[in-house]
Amino acid sequence: MRIIGGTLKGREINFLRNSNTRPLKDNVKESIFNILKHSNIIETKIENSNILDLYSGIGSFGIECLSRGAKKVTFIDQNDKAVNILKNNLIKLLMINKTEVWNKKIENFLQKKIKKKFDIFFIDPPFKDLTFYHNLESIKRKKIYQKKHIVIIHREKKTRDKFEDYINIVLTKTYGRSKIIFGLFS
């Protein structure tokens, strides 16, 4: 797996090979970054932003953000193997000082007092997992988002999610099996 843009473009990152994880495909990742950079309806930019990467796995999205100029990325995942690979990737790429890595349940992270606010939220739960709704509710309730922010959610295209209580959807794109939802907390 390679970084597809920015200062680290072309560098390899290690990934987890098992049936429980699914890395974000390069074409989907590239489309997300093109939308963030060129869309007239999304005001949030990657450069100098604080990113919260939930269900981060090996961190391919957050690492891509760092390569493209993000100020800091907070990665959260409870899978020990994925988090170890993530940490090794960050060390290898000399990016560890621009990150926080939490090897725990997202709910545990969101229960603590969080002083900083985030610009970009990337949420990539397992397709069958619905606990991410509670995480959206916690983020919204705690107001840990900047005025100009964006929420990006990766789901399976057939899912019938109900986001009305959590975010206002501004854009939805489908790529093969993946559906990417862009939204704002109201």
pLDDT in tens, 149-166: 999 999 999 988 889 889
What phi, psi does 149 have (nearest 5°)? -135, 170
Query: Residue 128: what pLDDT?
Result: 82
Fill in the amino acid letter for 90: L
Gyration radius from the chain CA atoms:
15
Contact yes or no for 50/71 (Cβ under 8 A): yes
**Spans of the chain below 50 pLDDT:** none
CA pair distance 93, 88, nearest whole angstrom: 9
Nearest to 161 by CA among 179, 144, 143: 179
- Residue 38 C-alpha from the chain's centroid: 19
Six-digit token string for 121: 């939220």
Write out the DSSP string of 122-167: EE---TT--THHHHHHHHHHHT-EEEEEEEEEEEETT-----TTTE
Six-digit token string for 97: 């000082």
pTM of the model: 0.94
CA pair distance 135, 138, nearest whole angstrom: 5
Task: Domains for the chain: give ranges and CATH numbers.
Answer: 26-185 (3.40.50.150)
C-alpha angle 156-160-166 in degrees, rounded to nearest 5: 100
C-alpha separations of 185 from 40, 135, 149, 157 in Å = 18, 12, 8, 22
Q: What are 93-122's pLDDT values in tens digits? A: 999 999 999 999 999 999 999 999 999 999
